[in-house]
Amino acid sequence: MTVRTPFSRRALLAGAAGALAVPAIRPAFAQGSGPIKVGVLHSLSGTMAISETALRDTVLMMVEDQNRKGGILGRKLEAVVVDPASNWPLFAEKARELLQVHKVDVTFGCWTSVSRKSVLPVFEELNGLLFYPVQYEGEEQSKNVFYTGAAPNQQAIPAVEYLMSEDGGGAKRIVLLGTDYVYPRTTNRILRAFLNKKGIADADIMEEYTPFGHSDWQGIVSRVKQFADQGKKTAIVSTINGDANVPFYRELGNQGIKAEDIPCVAFSVGEEELAGIDTKPLVGHLAAWNYFMSVESPVNTEFKKMWGSYIKNDKRVTNDPMEATYTGFKMWAQAVAQAKTTAVDAVRTAMYGQKVDAPSGYTEQMWENHHLSKPVMIGEIQADGQFSIVYKTPQAIKAENWSPYIPENASRAKAG
C-alpha cells in the first residue's frame, strides 16, 4: 500500500517514472506472510519539500533494492508514503496514521527538529521505530528513535573551530543566522557558550533568526556587512533551513559578500539545495557535513550509481541526509535479519553495535545512545554546485548527544 501525495517541484523534476520505479523481475517471497511495511514521513510540499523530497526517493530506492535481493526474512518490503506538508502538528497526525492505520514496522522521516519533536510522543506512546537522518541540536535520546545524522560535536563545533583556525581564515567575530525554531536556537546556544570559552565575547557575536520560508534578506545581509566592518575577521554560521536558503545565498551574491572576506559555513545546505542556485558567486563558502557527493570511496561510487539508476535523472545529486538514510536503512535491515523479526523491542536491541561501510568512506557504528559514530567533513562550494572537501577527521567520531555547553544537561554529557 502506498499513500499517494502531491509531488513537490523537485519531485516533478525527477519524473514520475523515477519515483514509482519497480524492479523488472520480482523475486519470490515467503508465502503466508504479509509485507514488511516501511513508513516514509517526509514533507513533499511546503517550505521543506526542497530538502525532504530526495529523502522520500532514497527510502523508495532502498526498498526497491532490498526487494530485488529477496526482501528481509523472505518477506517483501512495502513503502507507505505520507506527506506532512511542512506542517509540524500534521507530522504527529501522519505518524499516528502510519503506526495505527497502516501498522508500519519502521519509519524513516522528519528533517526539522520541530517535526521530530512533534512525532516523538507518538512513537513513544505506540512503541514505533523512527530513523531520523538529519543533523540536529542534540539534547535528546529516545528508545524509539535512532539518530543517523550528526550531533553538535560531529558538525557544529568542528565547523566553528575550523573557521577560527588559520586554515579557515582565523575568524574573531561570528554571525549566527538561523531559522526560528529549536534546532538553530539550541545549536547557537551551544556555539555561543563554546565561543565564550574560546575567548570570543558576546559583543563579537551577532545572532538573528527568521521564520521558515523567509525571503527578504537585504536588511539582514546589510547588517552582517556592517558588523564585519569593525576590523576583525568575521564569519557567518548558518542554521537557515529549507527554501529560505535560496534567497539568502542570492542576497550574499547580490551584496558582493565573498568567501575570502566573510566566509559562510552552513549546516543545512548541501548539493540538493544548491541545485536551484547560481553558485558562481558563492564559490569558496562552506558547508559542514559528514558526507559530500564528491567523496572518493568505492561505497560512494556504488551509492551514486545506485541513485542514478533508480532516479533516471542525471541532474539529481546525492547529499548527506540521503547518505544517512541509506546507512540507517542498511543497519535496520541487518538488525531485522539478526533479530529474525520486525518486532520493535527485538530490533532495537539488535541495532546496538551494527556497523556499515558508509558512502562517506568510513565504517559507521550504532551505539547504545542511539547515535552513530560519523566522520566530520568541511567542503567548499564549487561553481558546479559540488563541494571540494577541505577538511575531514582521520576517523569516525562518536556522537555526544548531550552537550557539556548546556548547563542543565552537563551531568548527562559527563556520564556519557
pLDDT band at 32 (very low <50, low <70, confident <90, very high): very low
Q: Label residue 10 by pLDDT band (50, 70, 90).
A: very low
160 and 175 share one domain? yes
Do the domain assignments include residue 1? no
Residue 19 domain flag: yes
Per-residue model confidence (pLDDT) at position 413 = 74
164 and 32 together in one domain: no
Q: What is the residue-averaged pLDDT of the chain?
A: 92
Q: How confident is the model at residue 21 (pLDDT cuts 50, 70, 90)?
A: very low
Residue 225 and residue 256 in one domain: yes
Asked if the structure places residue 161 within a domain, the reply is yes
Asked if the model's pLDDT at residue 176 lies above 80, the reply is: yes
Residue 2 lies in a domain: no
Residue 376 and residue 400 in contact, taking contact as beta carbons nearer than 8 Å: no
Within a domain: residue 3? no
Q: CA 42, CA 81: separation in Å to the nearest integer? A: 8
Q: Is the pLDDT of residue 17 over 80?
A: no
Q: Is residue 42 part of a domain?
A: yes
Residue 225 has pLDDT above 80, yes or no: yes
Residue 24 and residue 132 in one domain: yes
Contact 235, 163 (CB under 8 A): yes
The answer to whether residue 4 is domain-embedded is: no
CATH number of the domain that residue 98 is part of: 3.40.50.2300
Q: Are residues 146 and 172 in the same domain?
A: no
Residues 6+ apart with CB under 8 A from 226: none
Position 112 in a domain: yes
User: 129 and 54, same structural domain?
Assistant: yes
169: domain range? 153-294+377-415
Cβ neighbours for 228, distance < 8 A, ≥ 6 positions apart:
173, 175, 234, 261, 262
Total domains present in the chain:
2
- The answer to whether the CB of 339 falls within 8 A of the CB of 349 is yes
Whether the predicted pLDDT of 300 surpasses 70? yes
Residues 302, 272 share a domain: no
Question: Can you tell me the mean pLDDT for 26-41?
Answer: 75
Q: Are residues 268 and 173 in the same domain?
A: yes
Q: pLDDT tens digits, residue range 354-384?
A: 999 999 999 999 999 999 999 999 999 999 9
Does position 31 have pLDDT exceeding 50, yes or no? no
Between 189 and 411, the higher pLDDT residue: 189
47-98 per-position pLDDT tens digit: 999 999 999 999 999 999 999 999 999 999 999 999 999 999 999 999 999 9
Measured CA to CA, the distance from residue 220 to residue 264 in angstroms comes to: 14
> What is the spatial distance between Cα 379 and Cα 129, in angstroms, rounded to a whole number?
32
Are 112 and 22 members of one domain? yes
* Same domain? 142 vs 180: no
What does the pLDDT read at residue 410?
Answer: 78
The per-residue pLDDT for range 104-161, each reduced to its tens digit, is 999 999 999 999 999 999 999 999 999 999 999 999 999 999 999 999 999 999 999 9
DSSP 147: E
Task: State whether 275 and 401 are in the same domain.
Answer: yes
Q: Is the pLDDT of residue 18 over 90?
A: no
What's the CA gap between 184 and 344, in Å, rounded? 31
- Within this chain, do residues 15 and 65 fall inside the same structural domain, yes or no? yes
Which tens digit of pLDDT belongs to each residue from 306-347?
Answer: 999 999 998 899 999 999 999 999 999 999 999 999 999 999
CA distance 340 to 347: 9
The Cα–Cα gap between 330 and 325 comes to 9
Residue closest to 98 by CA, chosen among 113, 76, 112, 78: 78
For 172, 286, 338, 405, the CA distances from 204, given in Å and listed in that order, are 7, 21, 52, 19
